């Protein structure tokens, strides 16, 4: 067993106290997110794991089996922290402040033995650097998971399928249509067509900021799939600038029913389903006729 | 799994379905994968009189997927990029098999040389990306 | 040999595909169906694929073939009850079943066929056993 491992083992308590006070003194500590007791418990666990791992004699390869408990604790901590909303700085400092605490202790223990001290400090800092890299990796991974989940949720939320009339569905699309989104839109729409037995679907794209050839392709896919199911698709909410880009890009929408507004699309849908809507007012008869 | 007869196509599809159900793939992605598999296995029967398929469950970065590898000792494909074009077929078909299968799955790889057979592997992830 | 049953319903033929088709079965169906169309002088063909979970390019081609062949013999083809997952897959595959009519279910498919053929012609057929021997 090397010197550092011995010292850490011996001085565990002092190091832990040092480390805690380092962490607590940092401006960035979020005592609103984690209580001091929890922090203390977490830190103690990690230090114990580290001491045990170092005692095996392996002090440079953190991917070895001995370090598994340590890396596990660290990944665990940083993933939870990522979810709780800690900043990367706070999470990074957690491990880096341990380095300071150990270095301080080593300095006291090895006072006067400069060469030994230098060697041990480099060793410790190398080890803890690799550990902090793991911290960042897992922190980012945790964040990415959050992002992934959110984008899933957003695409779920933002594509409601509304039954506007017996046999007529409307689907307002808001935001850009990418291929993942199209997939969700298509699935929801087709499933709803089956559930409600509707034969007309109105896709309203007034909330789509821009239509390029890719978005148009996605729209056409949705229309084709709807037709395969045996329902007709009307695209509405085509703004002037969107009509312009469509024509300038040379996108052919001629075999798709398009309408400028949702209202006129609904009107078309009514007439396709042979539904008549009448106003009760005597003179204002703008009802829909076949 | 060996593919030698037409009836094996349906058997094989069911096997792919089993595997993709096991990792919890949703219905749409399952259907895409199985359809792609069906196209490829049909190609194999038609042009190479059958061959071998390996079905594997693979995982990468906490995502699971199904990987299918089709190996045959058939005549091979002389011009792979051409075969990957929509509407190109040496047989009397729609020419959608290879390019269509590629569109249906997440990852697609093809190796082929005339006279040395063809090896196609496709991967589809659980969430379809 | 296994075969898919074909039901005659008035001027229409109804086929319900309950199993995953293998190629031979599908080709048989194409054959049988066309023979039936010419034998009965049917004006419409309804193919219910609501129980089919996989339609690949081969199956798609069969459906397309049936439609084109029937059209030559003056019968319209409607494919009904396609699963959403199948529809999405077909579109990705690049197969839009041009020339095949579609409907949500058998009932709607039947309505569609009635619309397509027109009630007058059906009446003629019912009374005179086929419009061929009728002079205008």
Per-residue pLDDT 10s for chain A (290 aa) are 567 777 777 777 888 888 878 777 766 666 666 677 777 787 888 888 887 887 777 766 777 777 787 888 888 888 777 777 777 777 777 778 888 888 888 888 877 788 888 888 888 888 888 888 888 888 888 778 888 888 777 766 667 888 888 889 998 888 777 777 788 888 889 989 999 989 899 999 888 888 888 888 888 888 989 999 989 999 998 888 888 888 888 888 888 889 888 899 998 989 888 888 877 765 544 555 44
The tokens for C65 are: 């073939």
Q: What is the residue whose two structure tokens read 């906490």? A: B62
What is the phi/psi pair of residue B123, to 5°?
Answer: -130, 135
Task: Determine contact, residues C100/C79, Cβ cutoff 8 Å.
Answer: yes
The tokens for C27 are: 């080709």
pLDDT of amino acid A115 = 83
The tokens for A126 are: 């190398």
The residues in C 11-40 lying below 8 A from A, measured between CB atoms, are none
In a domain, C128, yes or no: no
Strand partners, C13: C8, C45
Helix (H) or strand (E) holding C63: helix C57-72
What is the phi/psi pair of residue A30, to 5°?
Answer: -100, 85
Task: Determine contact, residues C30/C64, Cβ cutoff 8 Å.
Answer: no
Which of B7, B35, B99 is the closest to C89 by Cβ?
Answer: B35
pLDDT of amino acid B129 = 64
Give exposure, A153-172, as e/b (b: 16+ Cβ within 10 Å). eebeeebebeebeebbbbbb
**Burial of residue B81, with CB atoms counted within 10 A of its CB: 0-12 exposed, 13-18 middle, 19 or more buried:** exposed
Sheet of A162-165: strand order equals: A162-165, A168-174, A200-207, A232-236, A257-258
Size of interface A-C (CB pairs under 8 A): 58
In a domain, C15, yes or no: yes
In a domain, C133, yes or no: no
Interface-testing mutation among B25, B28, B31, with chain C (most C C-beta atoms within 10 A): B31
**Mean predicted confidence (pLDDT) in C109-113:** 87
Nearest residue to C92 via CA among B107, B23, B33? B33
Work out whether strand A168-174 and strand A162-165 pair parallel, antiparallel, or are unpaired.
antiparallel
* Structural domain boundaries enclosing B94: 2-125
Q: Does B97 touch chain C (CB under 8 A)?
A: yes
Cα C66 from Cα C100, distance rounded (Å): 9
Dump strand ranges (E) for chain A. Answer: 162-165, 168-174, 200-207, 232-236, 257-258
8 Å CB contact of A180 and B28: no
pLDDT of amino acid C116 = 81
- CA-CA-CA-CA torsion sign (B8, B9, B14, B15): positive
* Structural domain boundaries enclosing C30: 6-123
Considering only alpha carbons, which residue of chain B is nearest residue A179? B129
Interface-testing mutation among C1, C52, C92, with chain B (most B C-beta atoms within 10 A): C92
In a domain, C135, yes or no: no
- CA-CA-CA-CA torsion sign (A104, A109, A115, A119): negative
Domain with C84 in it: what CATH number? 3.30.750.24
Tell me the domain boundaries of chain A. 3-153, 162-272
Q: Is the pLDDT of residue C133 over 50?
A: no
Domain with B118 in it: what CATH number? 3.30.565.10
DSSP A172: E
Name the packing angle between helices A114-157 and A179-196 (round to 10°): 40
What is the phi/psi pair of residue A277, to 5°?
Answer: -115, 125
Task: Residue C93: list chain B partners with CB under 8 A.
Answer: 35, 39, 96, 100-101, 103-104
Task: Determine contact, residues C15/C42, Cβ cutoff 8 Å.
Answer: no
Residues of chain B predicted below pLDDT 70? 61-62, 91-94, 128-129
Dump the DSSP string for chain B.
-EE-STHHHHHHHHHHHHHHHHTT--HHHHHHHHHHHHHHHHHHHHHHS-EEEEEEEEEETTEEEEEEEEEE-S---S-HHHHTSTT--SSSS-S-HHHHHHHHSSEEEEEE-TTS-EEEEEEEETT--
Residues 6+ apart with CB under 8 A from A262: A170, A172, A202, A204, A206, A236, A237
CATH of A162-272 among 3.90.280.10, 3.10.350.10, 3.30.750.24, 3.50.50.60: 3.30.750.24
**Residue C135 Cα to chain centre, angstroms:** 29
Cα B19 from Cα A25, distance rounded (Å): 54
Indicate the length of chain C as a whole number: 136
Cα B6 from Cα A192, distance rounded (Å): 36
The residues in B 24-63 lying below 8 A from A, measured between CB atoms, are 28
Cα B70 from Cα B3, distance rounded (Å): 10
Long-range own/partner contacts, residues C63-71 (CB < 8 A, 24 or more apart): C63/C97, C63/C100, C64/C97, C64/C98, C64/C99, C64/C100, C65/C30, C66/C29, C66/C30, C66/C33, C66/C34, C67/C97, C67/C99, C67/C100, C67/C101, C68/C99, C69/C30, C69/C34, C69/C37, C70/C33, C70/C34, C70/C37, C70/C45, C71/C99
Nearest residue to C33 via CA among C88, C75, C81? C75
Q: Does A272 touch chain C (CB under 8 A)?
A: no
Measure A27 CA to nearest chain B CA, in Å: 35
Cα C74 from Cα C8, distance rounded (Å): 16
- CA-CA-CA-CA torsion sign (A92, A98, A104, A107): negative
Report how many domains make up chain B.
Answer: 1
Nearest residue to C4 via CA among C18, A136, B91? C18
| Mean pLDDT rounded to a whole number for chain C | 81
Fold of A3-153: Globin-like (1.10.490)
């Amino acid at each position: 067993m090397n010197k550092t491992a011995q010292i850490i083992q011996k001085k565990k308590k002092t190091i832990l106290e040092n480390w805690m006070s380092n962490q607590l003194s940092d401006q960035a500590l979020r005592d609103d997110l984690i209580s001091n007791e929890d922090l203390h418990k977490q830190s103690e666990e990690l230090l114990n794991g580290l001491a045990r791992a170092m005692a095996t004699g392996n002090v440079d390869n953190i991917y070895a089996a001995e370090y598994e408990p340590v890396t596990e604790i660290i990944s665990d901590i940083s993933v939870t922290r990522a979810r709780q909303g800690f900043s990367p700085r706070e999470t990074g400092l957690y491990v880096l402040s341990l380095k300071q605490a150990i270095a301080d202790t080593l300095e006291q223990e090895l006072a006067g033995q400069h060469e030994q001290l230098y060697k041990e400090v480099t060793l410790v800092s190398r080890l803890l650097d690799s550990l902090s890299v793991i911290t960042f990796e897992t922190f980012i991974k945790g964040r990415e998971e959050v992002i992934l989940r959110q984008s899933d949720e957003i695409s779920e939320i933002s594509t409601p399928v509304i039954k506007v009339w017996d046999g007529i569905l409307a689907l307002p699309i808001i935001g850009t249509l990418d291929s993942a989104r199209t997939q969700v839109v298509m699935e929801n729409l087709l499933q709803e067509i089956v559930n409600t037995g509707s034969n007309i679907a109105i896709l309203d794209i007034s909330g789509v900021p821009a239509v390029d050839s890719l978005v148009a392709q996605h729209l056409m896919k949705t229309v084709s799939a709807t037709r395969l199911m045996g329902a007709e698709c009307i695209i509405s909410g085509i703004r002037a600038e969107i009509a312009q880009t469509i024509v300038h890009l040379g996108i052919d929408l001629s075999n798709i029913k398009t309408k400028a507004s949702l209202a006129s699309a609904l009107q078309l849908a009514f007439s396709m389903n042979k539904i008549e809507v009448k106003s009760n007012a005597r003179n204002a008869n703008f009802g829909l006729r076949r | 799994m060996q593919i030698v007869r037409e009836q094996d196509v349906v058997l094989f599809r069911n096997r792919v379905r089993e595997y993709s159900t096991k990792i919890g793939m949703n219905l749409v992605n399952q259907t895409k994968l199985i359809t792609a598999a069906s196209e490829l296995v049909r190609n194999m029967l038609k042009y190479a009189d059958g061959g071998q398929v390996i079905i594997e469950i693979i995982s990468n970065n906490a995502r699971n997927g199904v990987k299918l590898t089709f190996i045959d000792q058939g005549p091979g494909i002389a011009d792979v990029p051409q075969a990957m074009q929509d509407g190109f077929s040496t047989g009397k078909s729609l020419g959608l098999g290879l390019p269509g299968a590629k569109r249906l799955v997440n990852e697609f790889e093809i190796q082929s040389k005339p006279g040395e057979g063809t090896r196609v592997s496709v991967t589809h992830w659980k969430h379809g990306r | 040999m296994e075969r898919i049953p074909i039901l005659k319903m008035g001027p229409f033929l109804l086929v319900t595909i309950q199993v995953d088709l293998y190629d031979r079965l599908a080709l048989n169906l194409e054959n049988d169906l066309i023979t039936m169309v010419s034998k009965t002088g049917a004006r419409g063909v309804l193919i219910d694929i609501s129980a089919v979970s996989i339609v690949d390019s081969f199956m798609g081609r069969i459906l397309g073939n049936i439609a084109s062949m029937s059209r030559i013999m003056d019968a319209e083809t409607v494919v009904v009850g396609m699963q959403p997952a199948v529809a999405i897959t077909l579109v990705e595959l690049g197969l839009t079943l041009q020339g095949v009519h579609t409907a949500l279910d058998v009932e709607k498919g039947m309505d569609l066929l009635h619309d397509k053929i027109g009630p007058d012609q059906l009446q003629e057929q019912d009374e005179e056993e086929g419009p061929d021997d009728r002079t205008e």
